[in-house]
A = this chain, B = another copy of it.
C-alpha cells in the first residue's frame, strides 16, 4: 500500500521531490505541462493544470495531491476537494499565495508585521499612497508574479498606467511602502494536516535583479531574538492560514531590527534549497512527509554553515556538461543539483550547495563552483 503522491507541475521543484520520494518509498506521480519537463522521470501525465477534466483524470490514481507551483485555479482546487481528494496545501491556504491583496489582508488580521500597504485602482490613488509614504512605493500585480515579474518600484502615480489599463472591473493593484531594509531573510516552516509543525533556522537571502541568487544558512549574525521572531511569524502564518506542506516566508530585516513579511510561498522554495545538503531533513523530503501525513523530520542544520548559489544559464548554449565537469573537478566538496533544463541567459538551471565550518570558505567555494557555469 505505497502512498501515491501526485504533483501538479513538472518543474524543478517536482524534480527535486523525486530523490526523497524514492528513499521514503513514496510513489511520486507528476502531471507535467509538456513532454521533457524537469520532472520528466516521474511524469505519468501531460496536460493543462487549468483544465478540470485533465486534473481529475490525473488525480484518480493518486492518494494525495500537491504542487510544483501555485497557479492551479481555485475552481479546479475546490472541485477536487468537493470530489473528496486530499489536496495539500488546500485551496483555502493557497489563495494567500495566489493573490497578494488577499494575503496582505489576512496577515493584517493575524497581526503579523508587514509593510504598509493598500489596494490602488488608479494612478490618483497610487499617487496619494506615494505621497503618504515618503515619495515612493512598490507596486505589485496581485496575481501571477514571480522572480521579480509583476513588481515595480515607482516614484509617481503614472508609472503603473499600463498595469492599471489591464485591470478588470473590481480589480486593484497592491501598493506597498518602500521598506528601508538592511537585508532579506527567509523562514521555512513545515506543517502536517493534523497541525504538527517544525521551523527551520532563519536564513539570509541575497537577491539580484529580483531573483534569488544566494542563500546563507543560518542567517549570519541573527541572534536568538531574530530567530525567535522569524519563527513566531512563520508559525503564526502557517497555523493561521492552515498551510500543509512547506511554507516559505520572505522577510525584510529593517534598520531598526524589525522583521516585515514580504512574500509567501506554499511549497519548497529557492530559499530552502540549502536544506537538501545542509539540514537533517531537506525541504523536499519534509514537504513530502507533510503532504503524505508522515511524521516530520528534524529541521536542524548539519553543519555550522551552508551556502546555496543558483546556477543561471550563461550566454552560450549547450556546453553545460563541460562546465559541470569543470566545477566538479575544482570543487569536489560542492553538491551540484541540476534541473535538466536547456540553458538560457538568466534561466535558473541548477544550484550548488556547500557546507562547512568557516563561512568565508563556504561562501567562496559555493560562488566559485557556481561561477564555473557562467
A residues bordering B, Cβ < 8 Å? Answer: 1-3, 15-16, 18-20, 22-25, 41-42, 280-281, 289, 294-298, 300, 302-303, 318, 321, 324-325, 328-329, 332-333, 335-340, 350, 355
Residues of B near A15 (CB, < 8 A) are 22
Given known A-B contacts A333-B280, A338-B25, A302 and B355 have beta carbons under 8 A apart = yes
State the Cβ distance, A321 to closest chain B Cβ, in Å.
6
Q: How far is the CA of A201 from the CA of B363 in the complex (A)?
A: 27
* A297 → chain B closest CB, angstroms: 5
**A296: nearest residue on chain B (CB-CB)?**
B332
Complex contact B333–A23 (CB within 8 A): no
A297 and B328 contact, CB distance less than 8 A = yes
What is the copy number of this chain in the assembly? 2
Give every chain B residue within 8 A of A318 (Cβ-Cβ): 1
Give CA–CA (A339, B324) in the complex, Å: 30
In this complex, what residue of B is CB-closest to A330?
A: B295
A335: chain B residues at CB < 8 Å are 23, 280
Q: Within 8 Å CB of A18, what residues of B? A: 18-19, 22, 41
What are 22 pairs between A and B in contact, CB < 8 Å? A2-B321, A2-B340, A16-B22, A18-B18, A18-B19, A19-B23, A23-B337, A24-B338, A25-B324, A25-B339, A25-B350, A41-B41, A280-B332, A289-B328, A294-B325, A295-B325, A295-B328, A295-B329, A295-B332, A297-B328, A298-B332, A302-B303
A319 to chain B, nearest CB (A): 9
Shortest A41–chain B CB gap in Å is 7
Residues of B within 8 A of A16 (CB): 22-23
Residues of B within 8 A of A328 (CB): 289, 294-295, 297
**Which residues of the partner chain B approach A297 to less than 8 Å between Cβ atoms?**
328, 332-333
Known: A19-B19, A24-B338, A42-B41. A1 touches B298 (CB 8 A): no
Contacting pair A321 B3 (CB below 8 A) = yes
CB closest residue in chain B, given A196 = B329
A17 to B, closest residue via Cβ: B22
CA distance A336 to B23 in the complex (A): 7
Q: Closest CB-CB distance, A341 to chain B, in whole Å?
A: 9
> Which residue of B is nearest A340, CB measured?
B25
By beta carbon, the residue of chain B nearest A326 is: B295
Q: Give the complex CA separation of A2 and B302 in angstroms.
A: 31
| Residue of B23, B298, B336, B338 touching A338 (CB-CB under 8 A) | B23
Query: CA A164 – CA B41 in complex, angstroms?
Result: 48
Give A64 Cβ to nearest chain B Cβ, in Å.
14
Contacts of A337 in B (CB 8 A): 23
- Beyond A16-B23, A280-B332, A294-B324, 20 additional contacts (C-beta under 8 Å) are A2-B321, A15-B22, A18-B19, A18-B41, A19-B22, A19-B23, A23-B337, A23-B338, A25-B338, A25-B339, A41-B42, A280-B335, A295-B325, A295-B329, A296-B332, A297-B332, A298-B332, A300-B333, A302-B303, A302-B355
A77 to chain B, nearest CB (A): 27
> With the chains together, A230 CA to B18 CA distance in Å?
36
Contacts of A281 in B (CB 8 A): 332
A65 to B305, CA, bound (A): 37
| Residues of chain B with a CB closer than 8 A to A338's CB | 23-25
Alpha-carbon gap, A20 to B201, bound state (A):
26
Tell me, rounded to whole Å, the shortest Cβ–Cβ distance linking A152 to chain B. 35
User: 7 tightest A-B contacts by CB?
Assistant: A25-B338, A19-B19, A295-B329, A295-B328, A298-B333, A298-B332, A23-B337
